[in-house]
């Protein structure tokens, strides 16, 4: 990003071809890794929700290291092909440092692998996560409803008393009185409180929060990266028929960088595990 800042501000490349190749490759690698890490996080959340007991045993540091390694290997595979063709000879003066758009197949390969397929995977995973979370919340509501009724306050009213309670159909037989009117002996009633309604409201609020969080994560990712990858895919295909000002391309590039800034904020605000890990990281940095 510091090199990108300098290049955007000055409008010309002054660091030579070798550093240009290295910067382009590292930029593609890091951006792809950032996107793929979102997919890994989504997979982790999906497995934790659908198989909480089994996955907790498999969720080891070695497994996490393996997933991270796969992400970086995949990202390097996306960024390596441009090294096999050079845009200029080493001794030539290089005034621009741009990805070579003459190779349409590589453009399709890199954009599909780095963005479009991960986006479809994220939508599918977070869709399943939302449905699973909604199903569990509804089950918890049903179970807690039953438990609430079994723990209800039981009272015994004397005949003739009045109370705003709901009767349970398990009362003693009628006993005739001297006046001829029936008397219910030890009639059992349950007082319905507002606690059940409050629990239902709490469950609904949790469902709305989960939906909002998933919407923010997916929305931020798509808004930040979609414009950049649309231009990156369209420009090599239509070539001279399509023209974009470099300022637009730079803006969409930095919009994609912005996603890496806001992701930690979103995840730490929505997930307690990320919040604790972030706090540990901050404390470690402060102590060192």
Residues 222, 97 within the same domain? yes
Mean pLDDT of the chain: 76
Tens-place pLDDT, residues 230-250: 988 888 888 777 777 788 888
Residues 143, 187 within the same domain? no
Residues 117, 69 within the same domain? yes
Q: Which of 191, 218, 247 is the last residue of a domain?
A: 191
Residue 187 vs residue 87, higher pLDDT: 87
Residues 225, 98 within the same domain? yes
Residues 212, 250 within the same domain? yes
Residues 138, 64 within the same domain? yes
Confidence grade of residue 32 (pLDDT, cut at 50, 70, 90): very high
% of the chain at pLDDT higher than 70: 68
Residues 165, 52 within the same domain? no
Count: domains in the chain: 2
Residue 240 vs residue 23, higher pLDDT: 23
Instruction: Provide the domain limits for residue 170.
Output: 153-191
Determine the Cα–Cα distance for residues 109 and 130; give it in Å rounded to an integer. Answer: 30
The per-residue pLDDT for 133 is 74
105 by Cβ neighbours in 10 Å (0-12 / 13-18 / 19+) ranks as exposed
Tens-place pLDDT, residues 137-148: 677 656 655 554
Q: Which of 191, 219, 243 is the last residue of a domain?
A: 191
Determine the Cα–Cα distance for residues 269 and 188; give it in Å rounded to an integer. Answer: 48
- Averaging pLDDT over each range in 46-50, 133-137, 179-183, 243-247, which range is the top one? 46-50
The per-residue pLDDT for 165 is 46
Residues 87, 178 within the same domain? no
Residues 39, 121 within the same domain? yes
Residues 80, 128 within the same domain? yes
We report the CATH number of the domain holding residue 135 as 1.20.1070.10
> Running DSSP on this structure, what letter comes out for residue 101?
T
Residues 38, 165 within the same domain? no
pTM as predicted: 0.70
Residues 135, 211 within the same domain? yes
Tens-place pLDDT, residues 95-105: 788 777 778 88
Determine the Cα–Cα distance for residues 235 and 222; give it in Å rounded to an integer. Answer: 19
The per-residue pLDDT for 157 is 47
The per-residue pLDDT for 251 is 92
Mean pLDDT of 153-157: 45
Residue 87 vs residue 218, higher pLDDT: 218
Evaluated on CA atoms 41, 43, 48, 53, the torsion sign reads negative
């Amino acid at each position: 990003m510091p090199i990108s800042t300098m290049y955007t501000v000055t409008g010309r490349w002054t660091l030579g071809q070798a550093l240009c190749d290295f910067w382009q490759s590292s930029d593609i690698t890091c951006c792809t890794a950032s996107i793929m890490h979102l997919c890994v996080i989504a997979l982790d959340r999906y497995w934790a929700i659908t198989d909480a007991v089994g996955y907790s045993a498999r969720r080891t540091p070695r497994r996490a290291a393996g997933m991270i390694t796969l992400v970086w290997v995949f990202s390097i595979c996306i960024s390596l092909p441009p090294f096999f063709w050079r845009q200029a000879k080493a001794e030539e003066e290089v005034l621009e440092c741009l990805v070579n758009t003459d190779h349409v197949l590589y453009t399709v390969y890199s954009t599909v692998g780095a963005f479009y397929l991960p986006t479809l995977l994220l939508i599918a995973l977070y869709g399943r996560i939302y449905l699973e979370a909604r199903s569990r919340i509804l089950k918890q509501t049903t179970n807690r409803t039953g438990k609430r009724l079994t723990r209800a306050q039981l009272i015994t009213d004397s005949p003739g008393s009045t109370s705003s309670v709901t009767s349970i159909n398990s009362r003693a037989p009628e006993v005739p009185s001297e006046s001829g009117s029936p008397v219910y002996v030890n009639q059992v009633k349950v007082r319905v409180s507002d606690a059940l309604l409050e629990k239902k409201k709490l469950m609904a609020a949790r469902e709305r929060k989960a939906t909002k969080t998933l919407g923010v994560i997916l929305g931020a990712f798509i808004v930040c990266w979609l414009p950049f990858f649309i231009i990156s895919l369209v420009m090599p295909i239509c070539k001279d028929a399509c023209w974009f000002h470099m300022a637009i391309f730079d803006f969409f590039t930095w919009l994609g960088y912005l996603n890496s800034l806001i992701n930690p904020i979103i995840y730490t605000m929505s997930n307690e595990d990320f919040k604790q890990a972030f706090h540990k990281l901050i404390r470690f940095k402060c102590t060192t």
